[in-house]
Chains A and B, each alone.
Chain A
Amino acid sequence: MIQVKDNIYFDETKPYSEQSPEFLEYAQTVFSQIDFTDMRDLKSDNTCTWTIEQDGLRFTAKREFLNPSLYTVKEHIFNVEIL
Chain B
Amino acid sequence: MAAGYVTNYGNVENDGLSWDTPKRSIQSAIDAGLSPISGVGFFSEALSSGPVSTTIDSVGFLVFDGGNNLSSFIDGSFQGFRGFSNIKIRNYLKLRQSIGFEVNWIWNNCIISNIENLSIYRPQYEPRNKLTNCLFFNNSISHFDILENCTVYGGEVNLRQFGDYRFKNSIISESNVIINPLYTGDMKIVYTIFHNCTFKFTGGDQGADETTFTAPAGADDTEKLEDLRARMAVVYGGVASQYLQNCRYQTDGDLFIDPAKENFYLVPGCQAARMSYEAGYIGKYPEGSLADFAGDFVSYTNIDASGNIIDQTVDATAETDIVDLLKLRHINSLEALGQRATRNGNAVNVDADLGPAINPGTALTDGKTYIVRDEAISQTASGKTRDVGETFIATTADGLDFTSATGYVQEIYLDKPRSIELKVSKTDPTLANAVWLKMDLYAEPRINYDVNGVPQYGNLDPNYDEATSERLFIRYWKARVTIQAKNLPA
Report A's interface with B, CB cutoff 8 A.
Answer: 16-17, 21, 24-25, 27-29, 31-32, 36-37, 61, 63, 66, 69-78
Q: Which residues of B contact A31 (CB under 8 A)?
A: 49, 76-77
- Tell yes or no: B271 within 8 A of A by CB: no
Q: Tell me the complex Cα distance, A77–B160, Å.
A: 28
Contacts of B99 in A (CB 8 A): 21
- How far apart are B92's CB and chain A's nearest CB, in angstroms? 11
Select A73's contact among B25, B76, B79, B101, beta carbons within 8 Å. B25
Contact of B46 among A69, A71, A76 (CB under 8 A): A76
Q: Which residues of B contact A61 (CB under 8 A)?
A: 48
- Which residues on the B side are within 8 Å of A74 (C-beta)? 45-46, 67-68
- The B27-41 residues at the A interface (CB cut-off 8 A) are 27-28, 31-32
Known: A21-B101, A28-B80, A71-B24. A78 touches B72 (CB 8 A): yes
Contact A24 B44 (CB under 8 A): no
Q: Indicate if the CB atoms of B24 and A28 lie closer than 8 Å.
A: no
**14 A-B contacts (beta carbon < 8 Å):** A16-B76, A24-B76, A28-B80, A31-B76, A32-B49, A32-B50, A32-B51, A32-B79, A32-B80, A36-B50, A70-B12, A72-B25, A75-B46, A78-B72
Say yes or no: A73 contacts B48, CB within 8 Å. Answer: yes
Q: Would you call the interface of chain A mostly helix, strand, loop, or mixed?
A: mixed
Q: Are B43 and A72 in contact, CB atoms less than 8 angstroms apart?
A: yes
A63 to B441, CA, bound (A): 41
Could you tell me if A28 and B49 are in contact, using CB atoms closer than 8 angstroms? yes
Contact A72 B77 (CB under 8 A): no
CA A70 to CA B6, docked complex, whole Å: 12
One of A37, A72, A75, A78 near B76 (C-beta < 8 A): A78
Question: For the complex, is B75 an interface residue (Cβ under 8 Å from A)?
Answer: yes
Instruction: Give chain A residues whose Cβ lies under 8 Å from the Cβ of B103.
Output: none
B residues engaging A (CB < 8 A)?
A: 11-12, 23-25, 27-28, 31-32, 43-51, 67-69, 72-73, 75-80, 98-99, 101
Q: Are B27 and A73 in contact (CB under 8 A)?
A: yes
A25's nearest neighbour on chain B, judged by CB, is B78
Query: In the complex, A33 Cα to B51 Cα: how many Å?
Result: 8
Q: Which of B12, B23, B68, B98 contacts A75 (CB 8 A)?
A: B68
How far is the CB of B241 from the nearest CB of chain A, in Å? 37
Q: Given contacts A25-B101, A32-B51, are A71 and B72 in contact (CB under 8 A)?
A: no
> What residues of A have a CB within 8 angstroms of the CB of B77 in the complex?
24, 27-28, 31, 78
User: Given the complex, which residues of A lie within 8 Å of B23, measured CB to CB?
Assistant: 71
Instruction: Assess whether A75 is in contact with B69, with CB atoms less than 8 Å apart.
Output: yes
Contact B31 A37 (CB under 8 A): yes
Are B76 and A71 in contact (CB-based, < 8 A)? no
Once the chains bind, are B45 and A24 in contact (CB under 8 Å)? Answer: no
Chain B proximity of A22: nearest CB distance (Å): 9
Q: A25-B78, A73-B27, A76-B72 are in contact. List 11 more A-B contacts (CB 8 A).
A: A24-B77, A28-B76, A31-B49, A37-B32, A63-B48, A71-B12, A71-B28, A72-B24, A75-B69, A75-B72, A78-B77
Q: Are A36 and B46 in contact (CB under 8 A)?
A: no
List chain A residues, Cβ under 8 A from B79.
25, 28-29, 32
> How many angstroms from the CA of A76 to the CA of B72 in the assembled complex?
6
Q: How far is the CB of B142 from chain A (nearest CB, A)?
A: 14
State in angstroms the CA–CA spacing of A17 and B101 once bound together.
15
With A21-B99, A78-B76 as contacts: A73 and B47 at CB distance below 8 Å: yes
Q: Are A72 and B45 in contact (CB under 8 A)?
A: yes
Residues of B within 8 A of A16 (CB): 76
Specify which chain A residues have a CB less than 8 angstroms from the CB of B45 in the assembled complex: 66, 72-74
Closest to B68 in A: A75
Provide the residues of chain B in CB contact with A32, threshold 8 Å: 49-51, 79-80
Q: Which of chain B's residues have a CB closer than 8 A to the CB of A25?
A: 78-79, 101
Contact A76 B80, beta carbon cutoff 8 Å? no
State which of A17, A24, A76 has its C-beta within 8 Å of the C-beta of B48. Answer: A76
Whether A27 pairs with B76 at a CB distance below 8 angstroms is yes
Contact of A36 with B31 in the complex, beta carbons under 8 Å: yes
A61 CB to nearest B CB, Å: 8
What separation, in Å, do the CA atoms of A75 and B73 have in the docked complex? Answer: 10
B7 to chain A, nearest CB (A): 12
User: Would you give the shortest CB distance from A79 to chain B, in whole angstroms?
Assistant: 9
Q: How far is the CA of A80 from the CA of B239 in the complex (A)?
A: 49
Q: What is the CB-to-nearest-CB distance from B15 to chain A, in angstroms, rounded to a whole number?
A: 12
Distance, CA A25 to CA B79, complexed state (A): 7
